[in-house]
Amino acid sequence: PARMVSRLSPLIAQAHCPCLVPGNNVVSYYLLRQTLFDKLVGPFSFYHWDNATQRVLHGIPAYRQAITSHYFRVVEVDPDENPAIYAPVTRALAASRGWRLIEAIPSGTARKPFEIWRYDPAAGQ
């Protein structure tokens, strides 16, 4: 967690979330002052409004829509925290314009690292 938190710290400070951070309790604990007013979204029970369908989405569709609409500014994906969202979220990030992989850190799951992504509008052009 220390490496992940130290890598997330400047990204969150610069991005001023909302940010998808599965270990948001850990991040909030270590970066309390920095994250006090930033919205950290965890990997459970996320809802997001879809302007195209005029509906509230929940779960995987909500994460996908939030990623493609650039609602999040920083996304940290942890295969150990909530394995069900790992593949759909990493695929959505890789397929969506403007997202850049900042770092992949080995995790407890083989061939599935912690990944830290940042939305960079210039990268999507």
**What's the CA gap between 69 and 86, in Å, rounded?**
19
Candidates 18, 26, 14; CA nearest to 114 is 26
What are the pLDDT digits (tens) for 85-124?
889 999 999 999 999 999 998 877 777 888 999 998 886 5
Q: Looking at the whole model, is its pTM more than 0.75?
A: yes
Tokens matching residue 44: 């459970």
| pLDDT tens digits, 35-68 | 554 577 777 778 999 988 999 999 899 999 999 9
